[in-house]
Amino acid sequence: MFHGALNYEQQKKRAKELLKAFKKQDPIALDRIKNFHPRFSQKSSSPSSFTLADCQLCIARESGFASWLKLKAHCDQLKIKQAQINAGHIPDLDDGNTLHIRCGSDIRHSLKIAGFTGDFHEFNDPFCQGPIPKGSKTTLLEKRAEFIASAYGIPIKEVIANQKIAYDKLDQLWDYDCVVLWFEHDSYDQLILAFLLDHLSSLVSRPRLELICIDQVPGVPDFVGLGQLAPEMLIWLWENQRMSITDDQLSLGGKIWEALRQETPDQLNAIITAGTPQLPVMKNALKRHLKELPSPNNGLGLTQELTLQILADKGPLKGKELFAILTKEYEPLPYLGDLMYWYELSQFMKSEPTPIQYEKPHDQKTENAKPPQPWPERIIHITDTGKKLLAGKENYLKLTPVFRYVGGAIVPPLS
């Protein structure tokens, strides 16, 4: 997965390769040029007039830049930052009175390499799965701890200890002059962001609040998350994408958090309909979150339906292959980690009859069978029941004994 640090010499090479392919009338090259050159029809009528500069413009626009000069300036800026990191001559970014909050540990090391000196805090309660009950903070923490321990196989004492660290830190923000939230566009991140904004809005006294919240990065067409980015790209984000958190953003975060905890999706749908211009990437994350509610066609949430569709399209797959295809090809807004996806599969397997099954290796069919393989290595296939669900001829809610939670909404089985 590309780390985002564009190399200028490499981009020049790509432009030359595109020109060469264009002269050969390669159909893929023609499609790229048609999509990204503002005067394609004029140029294509006279191929000999198409120059390297035209290809450079296509490469720049393909990478998210308005012009080749802007792409070059971006590459030069990153090259300087990389040289500074390598030499240890990094300009002042933050300071020891800054706290960086992220919903995982994926950028902790890269921030240090990039020269950030502030503290780092991981707040990773996955609100995109499991119950988010109304009521007191105590009720929320109890229900979340019970779910995380049960769903992910983590001892409850360990969950509670981690939970205490994560939540208690949020009540100690007076130790800092500045708090910076680092988030991307999927529902895992955005639901946590809504919680944090709601919490920050309730503080009587708070430090300076800043936000880096993105859904794309120039030159990174396959952007998935902040964790994939090189250290110099984190500096680029700090200098170009960081903004002060406004009262309107705090207010919207509070409204979203309240809506997420309701037993019906009505409030959340109203927010989606009105739009979230103060938090531009939030709207799509909320829409994706609600797609985990049962479909009127077959009772499946979107993750379940996509899982069955992949197996119907591709045939039996190892768990790790299934997860990779889901994330890279089928999921419109990837948000699940591998452990979270395993929870979804394990819930699926509780149905009777089951929509999916594991194929047991031959050495597991004997009396001296070996222990089951880890789920990423198990072969998974769709059953006749799964095919009926895809065709809308069966209702999953009639097959499962499992209560499903989508935020505050509880989806009971129909059996």
At 73-102, the pLDDT tens digits run: 888 877 877 888 887 777 789 999 999 999
Q: Which of 291, 251, 302 is nearest to 409 (CA)?
A: 291
- pLDDT value, residue 46: 62
342 and 247, same domain (yes or no): no
Question: Looking at the structure, do residues 117 and 223 belong to the same domain, yes or no?
Answer: yes
pLDDT classification of 361: cutoffs 50, 70, 90 = low
Distance CA 272, CA 286 (A): 7
List pLDDT tens digits, range 96-150: 999 999 999 999 999 999 999 999 999 999 999 999 999 999 999 999 999 999 9
pLDDT category at 252 given cuts 50, 70, 90 is: very high
Give the whole-angstrom CA distance, residue 352 versus residue 385. 9
Phi, psi of 179 (to 5 degrees): -120, 125
Residue 286, exposed/middle/buried by CB under 10 A (0-12, 13-18, 19+)? buried
Whether the pLDDT of residue 203 is over 60: the answer is yes
Which pLDDT belongs to residue 357?
95
Dist CA 264 CA 186 (whole Å): 21
What pTM, to 2 d.p., does this model score?
Answer: 0.86
Residue appearing with tokens 């300076």: 208
* Percentage of the residues of the chain whose pLDDT score is greater than 70: 94
Whether residue 193 lies inside any domain: the answer is yes
Query: Does residue 335 belong to any structural domain of this protein?
Result: yes
pLDDT of residue 148: 98
Q: What is the pLDDT of residue 362?
A: 52
**Domain for residue 249, yes or no?**
yes
**2 vs 413 pLDDT, higher one:** 413
**Listed range (30-44, 51-65, 172-186) with the worst mean pLDDT:** 30-44
Candidate from 294-308, 318-332, 367-381 with smallest mean pLDDT: 367-381
The mean per-residue pLDDT over the stretch 157-166 comes to 97
Whether 2 is covered by a domain: the verdict is: no
Please check whether residue 144 lies inside any domain of the structure.
no
Tokens 């992220």 sit on residue = 102
Lowest mean pLDDT among 281-290, 311-320, 361-370: 361-370
Q: Give the whole-angstrom CA distance, residue 201 versus residue 299.
A: 37
What's the number of domains the chain is made of? 3
* Same domain, yes or no: 239 and 112: yes
Pick from 208-222, 348-362, 381-395: least confident = 348-362
Cα distances from 204 to residues 168, 174, 289, in angstroms, run: 16, 10, 31
Domain shared by 83 and 111, yes or no: no
Q: What is the pLDDT, as a whole number, of residue 355?
A: 97
**Rounded mean pLDDT of 232-252?**
95
Q: What is the DSSP code string of 328-394?
A: III-SS----HHHHHHHHHHHTTSSS-SEEEEPPGGGSSTTPPPPPPGGGSEEEE-HHHHHHHTTSS
In this structure, the answer to whether residues 219 and 192 fall within a common structural domain is yes
Same domain? For 66 and 110 the reply is: no
With beta carbons less than 8 A apart as the criterion, state whether 193 and 127 touch. Answer: no
Q: Which residues contact 38 (CB under 8 A, 6 or more apart)?
A: none
Record the tokens describing residue 262, joined without a space: 């309701």
Q: What is the pLDDT of residues 292-322, one digit of tens each?
A: 999 999 999 999 999 999 999 999 999 999 9
The verdict on 114 and 57 lying in the same domain is: no
Tell me, yes or no, whether 53 lies in a domain.
yes
Domain around 72: 8-87
How many angstroms separate the CA atoms of 298 and 356, rounded? 15
Q: Measuring CA to CA, how many Å separate 200 from each of 62, 180, 358?
A: 38, 12, 45
